[in-house]
């Protein structure tokens, strides 16, 4: 196989892995309270993505679907009345080797859990630190244990 074919197979593998992860976490999809796929520079204003949504009391976590072109540092700020969360998530490549090739999966490292003590209107600010061309999907998900206490 030539290098181009190996590269295409590696990209296909990463896409399949991403779809697999997404399908394996379908049980959590009912509790997604925020979702965005940042894959178009037009989604940003002056290099920053901003949106508003409501969060009920509970424990939440971030879920990312990054790839090798995703921003190396993804800065996320959540703010509301008497609430602030700021984290710089760092993209980490995890290498895997098979008999014929080496490939990577990608994940963001950083504090992914957040707790809200009362219902709040939240503003989310996502800064890809000048990498508006790299794609990434971001979800904020309410933990299942909190779903049963509604």
Residue 2 has pLDDT above 90, yes or no: no
pLDDT of residue 144: 83
Residue 39 has pLDDT above 60, yes or no: yes
pLDDT of residue 63: 97
36 or 21, which is more confident: 36
Q: Is residue 16 part of a domain?
A: no
Range of the domain at 122: 29-90+106-144
User: Which three-class secondary structure state does DSSP give residue 118?
Assistant: coil
CATH number at residue 46: 2.60.120.380
Rounded Cα–Cα distance for residues 21 and 14 (Å): 11
pLDDT tens figures, 55-87: 999 999 999 999 889 999 999 999 999 999 999
Distances (CA, A) of 148 to 19, 26, 112, 119, 120: 28, 17, 21, 17, 20
pTM over 0.85: no
Q: Is residue 150 part of a domain?
A: no
Total number of domains in the chain: 1
C-beta neighbour count of 114 within 10 angstroms: 18
The C-alpha torsion from 128 through 131 and 135 to 136, rounded to 10°, is -20
Q: Is residue 50 part of a domain?
A: yes
């Amino acid at each position: 196989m030539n290098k181009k074919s190996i590269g295409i197979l590696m990209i296909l593998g990463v896409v399949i892995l991403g779809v697999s992860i997404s399908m394996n976490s379908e049980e959590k999809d009912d509790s997604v309270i925020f979702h965005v796929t940042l894959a178009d520079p037009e989604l940003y204003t002056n290099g920053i993505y901003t949106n508003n949504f409501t969060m009920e009391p509970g424990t939440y976590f971030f879920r990312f679907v990054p790839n090798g072109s995703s921003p190396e540092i993804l800065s996320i700020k959540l703010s509301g009345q008497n609430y602030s969360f700021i984290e710089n998530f760092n993209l980490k490549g995890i290498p895997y080797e098979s008999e014929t090739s080496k490939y990577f999966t990608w994940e963001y490292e950083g504090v992914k859990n957040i707790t809200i003590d009362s219902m709040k209107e939240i503003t989310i600010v996502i800064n890809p630190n000048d990498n508006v061309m790299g794609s990434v999907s971001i979800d904020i998900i309410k933990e299942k244990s909190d779903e049963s206490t509604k």
